[in-house]
């Protein structure tokens, strides 16, 4: 069964600190993996997208990694800001229109 699991479910950090979010997937065939940021009540916004051959991709303070052998991905946020408070969703594409969504990590950044 195609599944995407994320950990932790929720995370609280202080402004300026770094954090890492985890994503494990069992999706076959694998096309690509994306990290989205979703503010409450808003649509998801893409942060990074990685294909099988890519193992690191950065977008400003966001760095995503992908290990296709272990089927794991991580999203590292550097020097967190209050505006980083959101849900972060790992989404895996199985080479079709259907995206397999993880349940997300709810990040809260406090001053």
Partner 1 sequence: DTEVTQTPKHLVMGMTNKKSLKCEQHMGHRAMYWYKQKAKKPPELMFVYSYEKLSINESVPSRFSPECPNSSLLNLHLHALQPEDSALYLCASSPVSGDEQFFGPGTRLTVL
110 DSSP β-pair partners: 14
95 sits near partner 1 (criterion: CB under 8 A):
yes
Contacting residue, 45, 55, 59, 110, with partner 1 by CB under 8 A: 45
Contacting residue, 21, 104, 107, 109, with partner 1 by CB under 8 A: 104
60 sits near partner 1 (criterion: CB under 8 A):
no
Contacting residue, 21, 30, 44, 84, with partner 1 by CB under 8 A: 44
CB of 105: closest distance to partner 1 in angstroms?
12
107 sits near partner 1 (criterion: CB under 8 A):
no
Tokens of residue 50, six digits: 């990685």
Residue placing its CB nearer to partner 1 in the complex, 13 or 49: 49
Q: Cα torsion at 47, 53, 56, 59 (round to 10°)?
A: -30
Cα 72 from Cα 22, distance rounded (Å): 7
For partner 1, which stretch binds (CB under 8 A), given 22-30, 45-53, 56-64, 71-79?
45-53
Burial class (CB in 10 A: 0-12, 13-18, 19+), 81: exposed
Cα 70 from Cα 105, distance rounded (Å): 20
């Amino acid at each position: 069964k195609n599944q995407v699991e994320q950990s932790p479910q929720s995370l609280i950090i202080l402004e300026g600190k770094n954090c890492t979010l985890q994503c494990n997937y069992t999706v076959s065939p694998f096309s690509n993996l994306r990290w989205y940021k979703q503010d409450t009540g808003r649509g998801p916004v893409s942060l990074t997208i990685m294909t099988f051959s890519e193992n690191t991709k950065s977008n400003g303070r966001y760095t995503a990694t992908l290990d296709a052998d272990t089927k794991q991905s991580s999203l590292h946020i550097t020097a967190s800001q209050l505006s980083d408070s959101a849900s972060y969703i790992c989404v895996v594409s199985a080479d079709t229109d259907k995206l397999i969504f993880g349940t997300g990590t709810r990040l809260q950044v406090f001053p």
